[in-house]
């Protein structure tokens, strides 16, 4: 479920502040904590269980980090930063990032606690 032990640790630390019924924020935190460098750049904007993804513009981000942040923005606002054609483009999004996004979609739909049970 997690890309690395660091991802898991960062996610659980951040989740201490997140409302258990806020599936969108759970999914966003899952995405942003999946890349250590990305989380290091954006975690200062995480306060009181919420992160305003629209103030995030990390410089020199990888293609995968950009995809994760775009997906987080889509979760927050029902926007279309990340297109389906982007998701299936193997040159744009790595397999690991694709799996991370799919897991985040499941978290958004069912909630993290419910996903853990499956």
What is the domain count for the chain?
1
Q: What is the pTM of this model?
A: 0.90
What's the chain's average pLDDT?
90
Q: What was the pLDDT predicted at 58?
A: 62
* Residue pLDDT, tens place only, 7-49: 999 999 999 999 889 999 999 999 999 999 899 888 888 888 8
CA 118, 20, 54, 11 dihedral sign is: negative
pLDDT bin (cut points 50, 70, 90) of residue 118 is low
Instruction: Tell me which residue of 74, 66, 22 sits closest to 48, measured CA to CA.
Output: 22
Enclosing domain of residue 26: 5-116
pLDDT bin (cut points 50, 70, 90) of residue 54 is confident
Kindly report the number of other CB atoms within 10 A of residue 17's CB atom: 14
CA 106, 107, 109, 114 dihedral sign is: positive
Q: What was the pLDDT predicted at 41?
A: 86
């Amino acid at each position: 479920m997690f890309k690395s032990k660091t991802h898991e640790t960062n996610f659980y630390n951040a989740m201490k502040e997140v409302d258990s019924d806020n599936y969108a924020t759970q999914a966003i935190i899952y995405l942003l904590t999946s890349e250590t460098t990305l989380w290091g750049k954006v975690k200062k904007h995480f306060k009181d269980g919420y992160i305003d993804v629209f103030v995030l513009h990390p410089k020199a981000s990888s293609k995968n980090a950009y995809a994760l942040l775009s997906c987080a923005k889509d979760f927050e606002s029902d926007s279309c930063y990340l297109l389906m054609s982007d998701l299936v483009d193997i040159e744009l999004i790595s397999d690991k990032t694709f799996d991370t996004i799919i897991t985040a979609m499941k978290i958004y739909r069912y909630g993290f606690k419910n996903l853990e049970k499956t």
